[in-house]
Amino acid sequence: MNRLLLVVVVGGLALLPQLHVVPEFWITQLNYIGLSSLVVLGLVLLTGVGGLTSFGQAAFVGIGAYTTAWLTTRLGWSPWLTLFMALALTFIFSSLIGAITLRLSGHYLPLGTIAWSLSLYYLFGNLGFLGQHDGISGIAPLSIFGISLGIGRNMYYLIWLFVLGSLWLTYNLLHSRPGRAIRALKNGSSMAESFGVNMANYKVIIFVYAALLACVSGWLYAHLQRAVSPSPFGLNYSIEYLFMAVVGGAGSVWGAVVGSALILTLKDQLQNLLPRIFDTNANFELIVFGLLMIFILQYAGNGIWPLLERMWTAVTGGEKQRRMEPPAQAATLEQRPRPEKGSLVLELDKARKEFGGLVAVNDISFKLHAGEIMGLIGPNGAGKSTTFNLITGVLPLTSGDIRFQGQRIDNLRARDIARLGIGRTFQHVQLIPTMTVLENVALGAHLRRDVGVVSAALHTDRRSEAELLHEAAVQLERVGLGDYLYEEAGNLALGQQRILEIARALAADPVLLLLDEPAAGLRYKEKQELAQVLNQLSAEGMSILLVEHDMDFVMNLTDHLVVMDFGTKLAEGKPAEIQQNPAVLQAYLGGIDDDFDEDELAGVAPTKEAV
């Protein structure tokens, strides 16, 4: 949000209760909007950003509310102490169910959240010491420094202090090292894991984070309402929170406030208006909400906030200017030691991969040395990408072994292999399209700094963050994308997106670079520039293994080629030898692949050795 607008919003919020013309009803309404905003903010992170749908947030509100209700009324604890108790309880509970539920994928995950949310709801309603369905009443109001928060106008300040604080924490978190990993969750796990991100951990982290926000909301609710009963913690309310997130804009922190304000205001107005129109007390507002949901999904799939943001930018134009500034100068990240030029970097020994009855990689063996550029070529379906996935740990080997700098890696996970110094790009570009080019590349440097969630949320990570962004900018400059730092990655042409993937892989400071069809979609001049960058990297000692269908590009660039066909190694040697190899010519001329023709393979362009 623009700073000026932020000052206006915060100033307005602070002044509102002081204006006695503002009726008590609106203060109460704003208090409930604040309470909902806290829960919905958690959903923005969990569902909007992380792509994990939860129908159980109201249950966590219940844990916060019941903990303080019971401890203050039955044991006489201070409410401020119960806040920590409620947070601790929610932390333990959400970590446990998160670790279990988040293993589920697809529609099983929302179903799982419904299951435990219903269980908790019935637990609240049936436990005798929690007052069963009558709940607990007589909860004392909060007070700070002798000032009672028993009246709505005072409680308002505390609620909105929590809301603004949570918005700040969440915004910081999203724009940080862990935040980039969280934003990668939605795109599936293989890409981010290839840069060392432990995706399962981050899923649990955002689940717990969202649960803690809901718990705070419940704690505040109990002391505002001064009584708790199970009904506001049921499935209906969880659905309503999700609804608020979608309507407000599940991808942006302010969407939580906008969604909560819109839905609660609309609900209240409709509850007044509809009975008068239809002369009945039936819950017709639910029908209106259903229609509204269809309308929003149809015409503003990302919710209301992005529309408001776009309108504001169009009016002020200020955002554009700020975007032009490159990230601040920062210390250069330290590099891992490079292997001696010519030393053995990668060795595949009878690597084999079977998919059921299909042998996609059939006992392939080859060696790659430091500073060498090796090409892996072959017709479509030859097993090249599968070989890449075996090396990077995305797929497990059926048999054989793979060694990287002497260490066996075929039993390691993708993120552990990334940690050893293997960077990669993907055959089908895997970027986070709504994230800037700079942030996408910074994700590649994930393992080079160790910033945790707490430090990111409190924004004490400034130095590390500046170093990561600086490194990302340096790599983008190196591959020729320095003019696109703040462009959304999804707006780049496909060829540029491939180059962006190379910059991201370089940001990981790899010893070995695996490039899957890097030249696809590039124009002639761009290919030449790419070849120049790769040659320079190789001169610096980087080992490169690339899969490529463009024969001119491969023959000019590589030192060594391995040719695959139907999963088997057909030939291996220098480009000039491969061009003359009868078996290779036969494989390409057999009509298996349209990408090749005889002239192309025969090397119309001079090969690297000839140059």
Query: Where along the sequence are the contacts to ligand ATP (CB under 6 A)?
Result: 355, 358, 360, 378, 380-386, 427
Q: Which residue has the tokens 């840069």?
A: 195
Q: Which of 486, 442, 421, 458 is nearest to 177 (CA)?
A: 442
Q: How many CA atoms lie within 13 A of 248 on its CB side?
A: 33
CB 542 within 8 A of CB 513: yes
Cα distances (Å, whole numbers) of residue 436 to 66, 294, 323, 473, 489: 42, 30, 10, 11, 5
Q: Please say which residue, 354 or 477, places its beta carbon nearer to ligand ATP.
A: 354
CB 181 within 8 A of CB 192: yes
CA 511, CA 17: separation in Å to the nearest integer?
60
Q: Please say which residue, 108 or 355, places its beta carbon nearer to ligand ATP.
A: 355
Q: How many CB atoms lie within 10 A of CB 84?
A: 11
Q: Which of 225, 420, 414, 459 is nearest to 339 (CA)?
A: 420
Helix (H, G, I), strand (E, B) or coil at 547: strand
Q: How far is the CB of 355 from ligand ATP (least distance, A)?
A: 3
H or E, element range at 312 = helix 304-316
Q: How far is the CB of 377 from ligand ATP (least distance, A)?
A: 9
Q: Please say which residue, 221 or 596, places its beta carbon nearer to ligand ATP.
A: 596
CA 290, CA 243: separation in Å to the nearest integer?
10
Read off the tokens for 296: 């929003």
DSSP H helices, 524-581, are 524-539, 551-557, 575-580
Sequence-distant (≥ 6) Cβ neighbours of residue 263 within 8 angstroms: 36, 240, 243, 244, 247, 289
Q: How far is the CB of 175 from ligand ATP (least distance, A)?
A: 35
Q: Please say which residue, 508 or 563, places its beta carbon nearer to ligand ATP.
A: 563
Q: Please say which residue, 302 or 385, places its beta carbon nearer to ligand ATP.
A: 385
Q: Please say which residue, 225 or 386, places its beta carbon nearer to ligand ATP.
A: 386
CB 592 within 8 A of CB 383: no
Q: How far is the CB of 380 from ligand ATP (least distance, A)?
A: 4
Q: Please say which residue, 95 or 190, places its beta carbon nearer to ligand ATP.
A: 190
Q: How far is the CB of 193 from ligand ATP (least distance, A)?
A: 16
Q: How far is the CB of 374 from ligand ATP (least distance, A)?
A: 15
Q: How far is the CB of 363 from ligand ATP (least distance, A)?
A: 15
Q: How far is the CB of 503 from ligand ATP (least distance, A)?
A: 22
CB 42 within 8 A of CB 214: yes
Q: How far is the CB of 382 from ligand ATP (least distance, A)?
A: 4
Q: Please say which residue, 138 or 356, places its beta carbon nearer to ligand ATP.
A: 356
Q: Please say which residue, 248 or 378, places its beta carbon nearer to ligand ATP.
A: 378
